[in-house]
Structure 1
Amino acid sequence: MTKQQNTLQFGDVAIHILSTSDELTVADLDLPAGAVASIHQHPHEEVNYVVSGVLDFMCNGEVTTLRAGEAIRIPPNHSHNIVCHPDAPGKVLTAWTPSRQDLIAKLTKSTK
């Protein structure tokens, strides 16, 4: 699949699936300056590594600001979101375990 075929759009946030298996999904997220990822939760453990930009990660009401080179773990079933600061776009490398079969299923539907 091409990068475009491996991309899901959630509002302003583009999720590019880089690799997936039964146990792990790895993706990069592109967030335009000022973008807000809606508050959500899922049963997957998640680790986010900031590649570029300045982003606020909210988990269970607590906000942590991260810059390039910093990471945060989001426990399973915790409400969370990401807000990209308005000065520049952000890029985040994300890993989920177990794999995000829900996202893979959406990709499969969108390529048919």
Structure 2
Amino acid sequence: MINTSESFFIAKKNIWEPVSHGISRQITGYNDNIMMVKVKFDKGAIGELHQHPHTQSSYVISGVFEITIDGQKQRLESGDTFLVNPDLIHGALCLEAGILLDVFNPIREDFLE
């Protein structure tokens, strides 16, 4: 089965979906191989430690985050990036409200359910 979104993403026409307390996401585009998602965090929100079989590359659009990957912590700010290899345990603590731009390979089918 082929998954795909529209070719163009108009931010104001797409909803932000609640994920957990203080965190919401907006799927911006995908096909079977790749998915891009904006994730908005309120100050103090926690992206709990978790793992998945997808490669994840993330760009800090705004805010300040403490990112944990495989037990290592790093403070990241606007313009910084991080890479999570498949199955590594990772999470985020939002120190100043902000937005991450996450890219996954392959697609996060669980986000489309």
Separation in 2, partners of 1:26, 1:103:
11
Partner amino acid for 1:71? T
Q: Is the 8 A contact 1:57 1:82 kept in 2?
A: yes
The answer to whether residue 105 in structure 2 is matched with residue 97 in structure 1 is yes
Q: Is the 8 A contact 1:35 1:83 kept in 2?
A: yes
- Residues 1:104 and 1:8: Cα distance change in structure 2 (over 3 Å): farther
Separation in 2, partners of 1:3, 1:96:
19
Aligned residues with identical type, % of pairs: 25
Q: CA RMSD in A?
A: 1.5
Partner amino acid for 1:3? N
Separation in 1, partners of 2:108, 2:60:
20
Q: Which residue of 1 aligns with 2:81?
A: 71
Deviations 1:74-99 (A, max 9, x none): 011000001010xx311111100000
Separation in 2, partners of 1:41, 1:74:
9
Q: Is the 8 A contact 1:11 1:37 kept in 2?
A: no
TM-score (norm 2): 0.84
Higher relative contact order (CA 8 A, sep 6+): 1
The answer to whether residue 11 in structure 2 is matched with residue 3 in structure 1 is no
The number of residues matched between the two structures is 102
Segments of 5+ residues of structure 1 without an aligned counterpart are 106-112
Segments of 5+ residues of structure 2 without an aligned counterpart are 1-5, 7-12
Q: CA deviation at 1:12?
A: 2.1
